[in-house]
Amino acid sequence: MRLLLVEDEPNIARPVLRALEAQGHQVRHAPDLTTARALLAEAEPDLMVLDVRLPESEDGGFILAREARAAGYKGPILFMTARDALADRVMGLDEGGDDYVVKPFDLPELLARVRALLRRVSEVKQSRVQRGPLELDLAQRSVRWEGRLVELSPREYALLERLALFPGRVYSPEELLDLIWGEEASDTGVVKVCVHHLRNKLDSSVVRTVPGGYRLGVEP
Protein backbone atom coordinates (compact mmCIF):
# COMPACT_ATOMS: atom_id res chain seq x y z
CA MET A 1 0.00 0.00 0.00
CA ARG A 2 1.07 3.62 -0.56
CA LEU A 3 1.28 5.66 2.62
CA LEU A 4 1.97 9.31 3.36
CA LEU A 5 3.67 9.96 6.71
CA VAL A 6 3.68 13.59 7.89
CA GLU A 7 5.87 14.02 10.96
CA ASP A 8 8.37 16.76 11.74
CA GLU A 9 10.18 15.08 14.64
CA PRO A 10 13.01 12.91 13.18
CA ASN A 11 13.24 10.68 16.27
CA ILE A 12 9.61 9.69 15.71
CA ALA A 13 9.52 9.75 11.92
CA ARG A 14 12.52 7.47 11.43
CA PRO A 15 11.34 4.41 13.40
CA VAL A 16 7.78 4.75 12.12
CA LEU A 17 9.02 5.02 8.54
CA ARG A 18 11.29 1.98 8.93
CA ALA A 19 8.56 -0.09 10.55
CA LEU A 20 5.98 0.73 7.87
CA GLU A 21 8.43 -0.01 5.07
CA ALA A 22 9.38 -3.28 6.77
CA GLN A 23 5.74 -4.29 6.44
CA GLY A 24 5.93 -3.82 2.69
CA HIS A 25 4.41 -0.37 2.31
CA GLN A 26 5.67 2.37 0.01
CA VAL A 27 5.98 5.32 2.36
CA ARG A 28 6.53 8.94 1.39
CA HIS A 29 7.61 11.17 4.26
CA ALA A 30 6.92 14.88 4.68
CA PRO A 31 8.44 16.85 7.58
CA ASP A 32 6.14 19.83 7.12
CA LEU A 33 2.80 20.95 5.74
CA THR A 34 4.22 22.42 2.54
CA THR A 35 5.98 19.21 1.56
CA ALA A 36 2.91 17.16 2.50
CA ARG A 37 0.69 19.24 0.23
CA ALA A 38 3.11 18.76 -2.66
CA LEU A 39 3.34 14.98 -2.17
CA LEU A 40 -0.42 14.69 -1.86
CA ALA A 41 -0.88 16.59 -5.11
CA GLU A 42 1.53 14.23 -6.91
CA ALA A 43 -0.11 10.95 -5.89
CA GLU A 44 -3.03 9.98 -3.68
CA PRO A 45 -1.93 7.58 -0.93
CA ASP A 46 -4.01 4.67 0.35
CA LEU A 47 -3.61 5.99 3.91
CA MET A 48 -2.23 9.08 5.62
CA VAL A 49 -0.53 9.16 9.04
CA LEU A 50 -0.50 12.76 10.21
CA ASP A 51 1.13 14.57 13.08
CA VAL A 52 -1.01 17.52 14.13
CA ARG A 53 1.60 20.09 15.20
CA LEU A 54 3.71 20.96 12.17
CA PRO A 55 6.27 23.74 11.67
CA GLU A 56 3.77 25.95 9.86
CA SER A 57 0.87 25.55 12.26
CA GLU A 58 -0.21 24.03 15.59
CA ASP A 59 -3.16 22.55 13.62
CA GLY A 60 -1.14 21.56 10.54
CA GLY A 61 -2.36 17.94 10.47
CA PHE A 62 -5.97 19.00 10.91
CA ILE A 63 -5.60 21.56 8.14
CA LEU A 64 -4.13 18.99 5.75
CA ALA A 65 -6.91 16.51 6.52
CA ARG A 66 -9.59 19.15 5.94
CA GLU A 67 -8.02 20.15 2.61
CA ALA A 68 -7.67 16.54 1.50
CA ARG A 69 -11.30 15.70 2.31
CA ALA A 70 -12.49 18.84 0.54
CA ALA A 71 -10.50 17.76 -2.51
CA GLY A 72 -12.21 14.36 -2.50
CA TYR A 73 -9.68 12.18 -0.69
CA LYS A 74 -11.53 9.11 0.65
CA GLY A 75 -8.68 7.08 2.16
CA PRO A 76 -8.22 6.64 5.92
CA ILE A 77 -6.47 9.29 7.99
CA LEU A 78 -4.71 8.40 11.25
CA PHE A 79 -3.61 11.23 13.52
CA MET A 80 -0.67 10.72 15.88
CA THR A 81 -0.16 13.61 18.25
CA ALA A 82 0.63 14.66 21.79
CA ARG A 83 -2.64 16.59 21.89
CA ASP A 84 -4.78 14.23 23.91
CA ALA A 85 -7.65 16.47 25.06
CA LEU A 86 -11.17 15.39 24.21
CA ALA A 87 -11.65 18.58 22.20
CA ASP A 88 -8.61 17.70 20.07
CA ARG A 89 -9.80 14.16 19.42
CA VAL A 90 -13.24 15.44 18.45
CA MET A 91 -11.67 18.04 16.17
CA GLY A 92 -9.58 15.34 14.52
CA LEU A 93 -12.67 13.31 13.70
CA ASP A 94 -14.53 16.41 12.54
CA GLU A 95 -11.72 17.26 10.16
CA GLY A 96 -11.98 13.87 8.49
CA GLY A 97 -9.79 11.64 10.65
CA ASP A 98 -10.60 7.95 11.10
CA ASP A 99 -8.40 7.16 14.08
CA TYR A 100 -6.31 8.93 16.67
CA VAL A 101 -3.24 7.74 18.60
CA VAL A 102 -1.66 9.80 21.36
CA LYS A 103 2.09 10.28 21.79
CA PRO A 104 4.00 8.64 23.31
CA PHE A 105 2.64 5.50 21.72
CA ASP A 106 3.90 1.95 21.37
CA LEU A 107 4.97 1.24 17.79
CA PRO A 108 3.15 -2.14 17.66
CA GLU A 109 -0.10 -0.35 18.52
CA LEU A 110 0.41 2.20 15.75
CA LEU A 111 1.15 -0.56 13.24
CA ALA A 112 -1.94 -2.48 14.34
CA ARG A 113 -4.09 0.61 13.81
CA VAL A 114 -2.57 1.08 10.35
CA ARG A 115 -3.32 -2.55 9.48
CA ALA A 116 -6.91 -2.16 10.67
CA LEU A 117 -7.43 0.94 8.56
CA LEU A 118 -5.86 -0.68 5.51
CA ARG A 119 -8.12 -3.70 5.87
CA ARG A 120 -10.98 -1.27 5.52
CA VAL A 121 -9.42 0.10 2.33
CA SER A 122 -9.31 -3.39 0.85
CA GLU A 123 -12.86 -4.08 1.89
CA VAL A 124 -14.18 -0.81 0.55
CA LYS A 125 -12.51 -1.57 -2.77
CA GLN A 126 -14.33 -4.87 -2.70
CA SER A 127 -17.51 -3.00 -1.74
CA ARG A 128 -18.56 -5.81 0.59
CA VAL A 129 -17.88 -6.53 4.26
CA GLN A 130 -18.55 -9.92 5.84
CA ARG A 131 -18.50 -10.32 9.63
CA GLY A 132 -19.78 -13.74 10.60
CA PRO A 133 -23.54 -13.78 9.83
CA LEU A 134 -23.47 -10.04 9.08
CA GLU A 135 -22.94 -8.84 5.51
CA LEU A 136 -22.81 -5.22 4.34
CA ASP A 137 -22.89 -4.09 0.72
CA LEU A 138 -21.15 -0.72 0.96
CA ALA A 139 -22.12 0.38 -2.54
CA GLN A 140 -25.81 -0.43 -2.09
CA ARG A 141 -25.81 0.42 1.64
CA SER A 142 -27.72 -2.78 2.29
CA VAL A 143 -27.44 -5.27 5.15
CA ARG A 144 -28.02 -9.01 5.38
CA TRP A 145 -28.12 -11.08 8.56
CA GLU A 146 -27.72 -14.82 8.03
CA GLY A 147 -28.57 -14.18 4.38
CA ARG A 148 -31.77 -12.29 5.17
CA LEU A 149 -32.06 -8.75 3.82
CA VAL A 150 -32.79 -6.34 6.70
CA GLU A 151 -34.08 -2.83 6.16
CA LEU A 152 -32.34 -0.20 8.29
CA SER A 153 -32.77 3.53 8.64
CA PRO A 154 -29.86 5.69 7.38
CA ARG A 155 -28.67 6.29 10.95
CA GLU A 156 -28.87 2.62 11.85
CA TYR A 157 -26.91 1.69 8.73
CA ALA A 158 -24.27 4.36 9.35
CA LEU A 159 -23.70 3.23 12.94
CA LEU A 160 -23.53 -0.44 11.96
CA GLU A 161 -21.18 0.28 9.06
CA ARG A 162 -18.82 2.17 11.37
CA LEU A 163 -18.67 -0.73 13.83
CA ALA A 164 -18.33 -3.32 11.07
CA LEU A 165 -15.48 -1.51 9.34
CA PHE A 166 -13.49 -1.35 12.57
CA PRO A 167 -14.26 -4.61 14.39
CA GLY A 168 -12.70 -4.77 17.81
CA ARG A 169 -12.57 -1.04 18.26
CA VAL A 170 -14.65 0.40 21.09
CA TYR A 171 -16.58 3.57 20.30
CA SER A 172 -17.87 5.74 23.10
CA PRO A 173 -21.44 7.07 22.78
CA GLU A 174 -19.96 10.55 22.38
CA GLU A 175 -17.80 9.45 19.43
CA LEU A 176 -20.73 7.77 17.71
CA LEU A 177 -22.92 10.78 18.32
CA ASP A 178 -20.31 12.98 16.70
CA LEU A 179 -19.62 10.64 13.78
CA ILE A 180 -23.20 9.71 12.90
CA TRP A 181 -25.34 12.65 14.01
CA GLY A 182 -22.86 15.53 14.03
CA GLU A 183 -24.48 18.78 15.04
CA GLU A 184 -27.98 17.42 14.53
CA ALA A 185 -28.10 15.87 18.00
CA SER A 186 -26.46 16.53 21.35
CA ASP A 187 -27.94 13.78 23.53
CA THR A 188 -26.19 10.39 23.51
CA GLY A 189 -29.57 8.86 24.25
CA VAL A 190 -30.14 8.67 20.49
CA VAL A 191 -27.13 6.34 20.23
CA LYS A 192 -28.62 4.01 22.82
CA VAL A 193 -31.96 3.98 20.98
CA CYS A 194 -30.24 3.29 17.65
CA VAL A 195 -28.29 0.35 19.14
CA HIS A 196 -31.55 -0.99 20.59
CA HIS A 197 -33.18 -0.88 17.14
CA LEU A 198 -30.22 -2.66 15.52
CA ARG A 199 -30.39 -5.45 18.07
CA ASN A 200 -34.13 -5.85 17.47
CA LYS A 201 -33.84 -5.86 13.68
CA LEU A 202 -30.74 -8.07 13.42
CA ASP A 203 -29.78 -9.94 16.55
CA SER A 204 -29.11 -9.03 20.18
CA SER A 205 -25.45 -10.01 19.66
CA VAL A 206 -24.73 -7.70 16.74
CA VAL A 207 -23.64 -4.75 18.94
CA ARG A 208 -21.90 -5.47 22.22
CA THR A 209 -21.90 -3.10 25.19
CA VAL A 210 -18.42 -3.05 26.74
CA PRO A 211 -16.55 -0.76 29.16
CA GLY A 212 -16.14 2.55 27.37
CA GLY A 213 -18.96 2.12 24.86
CA TYR A 214 -19.93 -0.20 22.04
CA ARG A 215 -18.20 -2.48 19.56
CA LEU A 216 -19.25 -4.97 16.91
CA GLY A 217 -20.51 -8.09 18.64
CA VAL A 218 -19.85 -10.66 15.90
CA GLU A 219 -16.45 -12.06 15.06
CA PRO A 220 -14.82 -11.21 11.71
Q: Parallel, antiparallel, or unpaired for β 2-6 and 128-131?
A: unpaired
Residues 30-41 pLDDT 10s? 999 999 999 988
Q: Give the containing element (helix H, strand E) for 173.
A: helix 173-176
Region at 217 (left for phi over 0; alpha for psi -120 to 50; beta for the rest):
alpha
Region at 129 (left for phi over 0; alpha for psi -120 to 50; beta for the rest):
beta
Handedness of CA 154, 156, 157, 162 (dihedral sign): positive
pTM: 0.61
Is pLDDT at 182 greater than 90 in this prediction? no
Query: Across residues 12-20, what is the average pLDDT?
Result: 92
> For residues 50 and 64, what is the distance between their CA atoms, to the nearest angstrom?
8
Residues 129-156 pLDDT 10s? 889 999 998 878 899 999 999 999 989 9
DSSP character string of 38-84 = HHHHH---SEEEE-S-BTTBTTHHHHHHHHHHHTT--S-EEEEES--
Q: pLDDT confidence of 123, banded at 50, 70, 90?
A: low
pLDDT mean across residues, the chain: 89
Is pLDDT at 72 greater than 90 in this prediction? no
Give yes or no for a contact between 195 and 155, defined as CB atoms under 8 angstroms apart: no
Residues 156-165 pLDDT 10s? 998 999 899 8
> For residues 72 and 108, what is the distance between their CA atoms, to the nearest angstrom?
30
47 forms beta bridges with 3
